[in-house]
Amino acid sequence: MSTQATRETRRVTNTRESQLPVEQGFSVGRLLGVQHWLIPGTRPGRPLTPSWLPARPCPHLPRPPRPAPRGPRGKSSRARQEEPTSVARRSAGMAGPQLRGRRLLARRPPLPLPLPPPLLLLLPLLTPVPAAGNHCPCREPALCLPIRQRPDFEVFVFHVGQKTWKSYDWTQITTVAVFGRYNSELMCHAHSKGARVVLKGDVSLKKITDPTFRASWIAEKLKLAKAQHMDGINIDIEQEVTCSSPEYDALTALVKETTDAFHHEIEGSQVTFDVAWSPKNIDGRCYNYTGIADACDFLFVMSYDEQSQVWSECIAAANAPFNQTLTGYRDYIKMGINPKKLVMGVPWYGYDYTCLNLSESHVCTIAKVPFRGAPCSDAAGHQVPYKVIMKEIHSSISGSQWDEDQQAPYYNYKDPSGQLHQVWYDNPRSISLKAEHIPQYGLRGIGMWNADCLDYSGGAVAKQQTEEMWKALKPKPAQR
């Protein structure tokens, strides 16, 4: 996710975990019916009438009188026991010896009924346990099953909770990371398109040095993923770690243990980890990148917020400069990380900076806002989604400009108070230039932060702008 979103307490990524479904247990009658061949006196293909049960009474003999109604519901205990099953079986034409045998058991005196040895072995199975599958909210139960296929090319989408998800380009999406409120309808729709839906996983690094805490955290996330019919988890930490700290190794252990648990419990599940645009301790994040890459399915490289630490002049610059972005991927690969474990992340948003001074050559001097040791940072500006940028650009004082060095667009505008601003962003052109290198570097795929930044209102202009941004995710052969 975005670094500035982390600094601003991630207002758009607070997830409310839904209430877990009520646990269900096995039906004793169903279990006995299925396992009838284990009971003495029966064999496969014959009704369940074990020799150790009393024989059926002669049909011509009168039945014992029914006990008088009692209890608040006006039914005897036998009637209450019989009604749900007997009515259902009579309606289905299933009132056979098995049902009659159960009615006879209900009329027996309340004495302990000895069980044959084979049935004693089944007692642990008769204890109520959570059902293998929770209630499925989809119109087709199969849509609640985990996605198992592995796409050749990954398109990884972050969803932050808005209702625009139905308008995403589902012909491309392979994974949706839910960083907003859980929506079962989104899960059903994604599965119908063959796309995975994964949880957000964040945790305080100060706690993960405790193996017991790690196990508890993983169990909690795994339980939630199962309850919500999810396909994995995207671990998003973005916290500062020193290379010699206990957290350095603990973070790698957390990722490995999470991956092992999810792969074991959810077939076909996916565990991913978000990393900065470069492995060179960006924002003080000294992580064991090779170890983490080996431990999970792949890394989502956040190739944006690249001005989070500005060590040179305090001026506005591109969110994801072309050369700097590609250098980051080359550095990851030089470390020995398999390129197929790297997904290129691109921004669908930009930064709006207030200019202390705007030169004739469009250099915007910004305020000094330190961040993790650097004298300046993009915290001097604020994030703006692409849909807002497309509306503002028409009222700008410069129109869209193109910076050849950074291979990125920008524009200048004046706010109502007369203050000058400069906005740097990414558009289909700048994104396509970077995406062209995905095949060249052998990367696993592409993704963005975040899919809700586009205008899905349906207007002709907005529709074209949105379609062009989605098309930019499809890499073309490099022209350079």
Sign of CA dihedral 118, 124, 128, 132: negative
Question: What is the number of residues in the chain?
Answer: 480
At residue 57, does pLDDT exceed 60?
A: no
Residues 229, 349: Cα–Cα separation, whole Å:
30
Predicted local distance difference test score (pLDDT) of residue 29: 38
Kindly compute the dihedral angle of the four CA atoms of residues 396, 386, 238, 156, in this order, to the nearest 10 degrees: -160
Active site residue 240: no
Predicted local distance difference test score (pLDDT) of residue 27: 38
Class for the domain spanning 143-471: alpha beta
Predicted local distance difference test score (pLDDT) of residue 204: 95
Q: Which residues pair with 408 in a beta bridge?
A: 403
Cis? peptide before 412, omega within 30° of 0 = no
Token pair belonging to 314 = 């305090």
Residues 270, 291: Cα–Cα separation, whole Å:
17
The helix (run of H) or strand (run of E) holding residue 28 is helix 28-34
Longest CA–CA span in the chain (Å) reads 109
Lowest mean pLDDT among 52-61, 434-443, 470-479: 52-61
Which of 169, 175, 183 has its CA nearest to residue 154? 175
Predicted local distance difference test score (pLDDT) of residue 429: 99
Rounded to the nearest 10 degrees, the angle between the axes of helix 322-334 and helix 428-435 is 30
Residue with tokens 């330190």: 370
Model confidence at 134, in pLDDT bands (50, 70, 90)? confident
Classified as helix, coil or strand, 310 is strand
Which of 250, 135, 129 has its CA nearest to residue 188? 135
Q: Where in the chain is the domain with CATH 3.20.20.80?
A: 143-471
The helix (run of H) or strand (run of E) holding residue 189 is helix 184-192
Q: Is 161 exposed, middle or buried (0-12, 13-18, 19+ CB in 10 A)?
A: buried
pLDDT tens figures, 467-478: 999 999 998 765
At residue 121, does pLDDT exceed 70?
A: no
pLDDT tens figures, 58-107: 444 455 555 444 444 333 333 333 344 333 433 444 433 333 333 333 44
- What is the share, in percent, of the chain residues with pLDDT greater than 70? 71
Residues 282, 275: Cα–Cα separation, whole Å:
9
Residues 128, 427: Cα–Cα separation, whole Å:
56
Q: Which candidate in 154, 238, 247, 306 is catalytic?
A: 238
As a whole number, mean pLDDT of residues 393-397 equals 96
At residue 50, does pLDDT exceed 80?
A: no
User: Rounded to two decimals, what is the model's pTM?
Assistant: 0.74
Predicted local distance difference test score (pLDDT) of residue 334: 99
pLDDT tens figures, 138-147: 999 999 999 9
At residue 479, does pLDDT exceed 80?
A: no
Q: What is the DSSP letter of 340?
A: G
Predicted local distance difference test score (pLDDT) of residue 475: 87
Residues 367, 376: Cα–Cα separation, whole Å:
8
Lowest mean pLDDT among 100-104, 116-120, 224-228: 100-104
pLDDT tens figures, 273-306: 999 999 999 999 999 999 999 999 999 999 999 9
As a whole number, mean pLDDT of residues 156-182 equals 97
Could you tell me if 263 and 314 are in contact, meaning their C-beta atoms sit under 8 angstroms apart?
A: no
Token pair belonging to 351 = 């930064």
Q: Is 114 exposed, middle or buried (0-12, 13-18, 19+ CB in 10 A)?
A: exposed
